[in-house]
């Protein structure tokens, strides 16, 4: 049984990209592994958040975890900020991270470009993410493609610490899905689908109503021509839609091509919309139940309690190795 950990930021509406690239795999992994999944609220505040919205979105992400199929009896679900060791180990690892390493992070470059002022937390974000992972001696980290660079830094920091202070951390491996690791925007297949895109037509939110989903997919940009062909180089827009179709169904891209051969984009897009609706409708119904039931409070309290036991032990060992006087 491997230790698995991952997290999602409560910084806006979760998208189909978050589901296909990450959450779907969380649900599958809970059957076989020792899993922890976090709502990473301390990461969300690396860009300005309105307090009431942050609270609402954090609860919403927790409810979506359960609605999507995470079972608190199998996987530990908790808020990052409920386990203070994240902030503590985050600081300790920040002091071991080089400026050059953080300057190379593409997520930082993307999120800071064109901004007049950028918070220091956005820069040191990857050290906190490393702490999230290393606190639990994690073996596997299921994430989308965009997190790969952060995982590389996490591995480097684990190795650096182990070398300097003796074997302490497990060096984790990223687990990046073969299909759907980078779901692209519906309005521009050169950009990843993202909840922070100001154009809501560019993403499908997990809580979008069926009609909104149908409308967004019917308006999704397609390439010239009319052939439903999986060719990411030459037909990036349609290939993105095929990848979404594939991730929402049991069909491979080749089977999808064959199904729509000679039919053009219309029938393909119509069926794709129904695939997405069929995937999300039960999640949305369960989401409403979870929010109404009040069960989240207990799930999160239990999750944090379990997490703290492991995290406190790791921080103690780390502080001892680094030379702190223990309390």
111 among known catalytic residues: yes
Nearer to ligand TYM, 151 or 299 (CB): 151
Nearer to ligand TYM, 72 or 144 (CB): 144
**Shortest distance in whole angstroms from residue 240 CB to ligand TYM:** 10
The pair phi, psi for residue 97, each rounded to 5°, is -100, 135
**Shortest distance in whole angstroms from residue 222 CB to ligand TYM:** 19
The active-site residue out of 192, 216, 235, 269 is 192
Q: What are the DSSP calls for 183-220, one per residue?
A: PBPSS-TTSB--TT-S-GGGS-BTT--HHHHHHHHHHS
**Shortest distance in whole angstroms from residue 300 CB to ligand TYM:** 17
**Shortest distance in whole angstroms from residue 215 CB to ligand TYM:** 20
3-state secondary structure of 34: strand
Q: In whole angstroms, what is the distance from residue 253 CA to residue 250 CA? A: 10
Task: Report the relative pairing of strands 75-79 and 140-142 from DSSP bridges.
Answer: unpaired
**Shortest distance in whole angstroms from residue 67 CB to ligand TYM:** 16
Angle at 29 between CA 26 and CA 31, to 5 degrees: 125
Nearer to ligand TYM, 141 or 260 (CB): 141
Nearer to ligand TYM, 135 or 260 (CB): 135
The active-site residue out of 74, 109, 191, 195 is 195
Using Cβ positions, the residue closest to ligand TYM within the complex turns out to be 21
Q: In whole angstroms, what is the distance from residue 227 CA to residue 107 CA? A: 34
Q: In whole angstroms, what is the distance from residue 300 CA to residue 304 CA? A: 6
192 among known catalytic residues: yes
Angle at 143 between CA 190 and CA 17, to 5 degrees: 45
The active-site residue out of 2, 74, 111, 229 is 111
Q: Which residues bind to ligand TYM, rule: CB under 6 A?
A: 5-9, 17-18, 20-22, 40, 43, 129, 132-133, 141, 143-144, 146-147, 150, 181-183, 192-194
269 among known catalytic residues: no
Would you name the residues annotated as active-site residues? Answer: 111, 192, 195
């Amino acid at each position: 049984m491997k230790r698995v950990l991952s997290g999602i930021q409560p910084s806006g509406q979760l998208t189909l990209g978050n589901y296909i690239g990450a959450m779907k795999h969380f649900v599958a992994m809970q059957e076989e592994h020792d899993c922890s999944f976090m709502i990473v609220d301390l990461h969300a505040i690396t860009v300005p958040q309105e307090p009431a919205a942050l609270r609402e979105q954090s609860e919403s992400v927790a409810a979506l975890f359960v609605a999507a199929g995470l079972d608190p009896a199998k996987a530990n679900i908790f808020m990052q900020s409920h386990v203070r060791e994240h902030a503590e180990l985050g600081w300790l690892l920040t002091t071991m991270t080089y400026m050059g390493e953080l300057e190379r992070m593409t997520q930082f470059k993307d999120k800071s470009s064109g901004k007049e002022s950028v918070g220091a937390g956005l820069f040191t974000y990857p050290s906190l993410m490393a702490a999230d992972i290393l606190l639990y001696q994690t073996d596997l980290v299921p994430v989308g493609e965009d997190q790969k660079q952060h995982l590389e830094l996490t591995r480097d920091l684990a190795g650096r610490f182990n070398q300097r202070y003796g074997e302490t951390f497990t060096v984790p491996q990223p687990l990046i899905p073969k299909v759907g690791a980078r779901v692209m925007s519906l309005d521009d297949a050169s950009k990843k689908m993202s909840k922070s895109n100001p154009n809501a037509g560019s993403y499908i939110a997990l809580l979008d109503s069926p009609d909104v989903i149908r409308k967004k997919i019917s308006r999704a940009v397609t390439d010239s021509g009319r052939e439903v062909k999986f060719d990411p180089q030459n037909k990036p827009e349609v290939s993105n839609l095929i990848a979404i179709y594939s991730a929402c169904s049991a069909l491979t891209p080749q089977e999808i091509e064959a199904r729509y051969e000679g039919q053009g984009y219309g029938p393909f897009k119509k069926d794709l919309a129904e695939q997405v609706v069929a995937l999300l409708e039960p999640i949305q119904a369960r989401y409403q139940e979870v929010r109404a039931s009040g069960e989240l409070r207990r799930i999160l309290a239990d999750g944090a309690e379990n997490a703290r036991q492991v995290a406190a032990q790791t921080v103690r060992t780390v502080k001892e190795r680094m030379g702190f006087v223990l309390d």
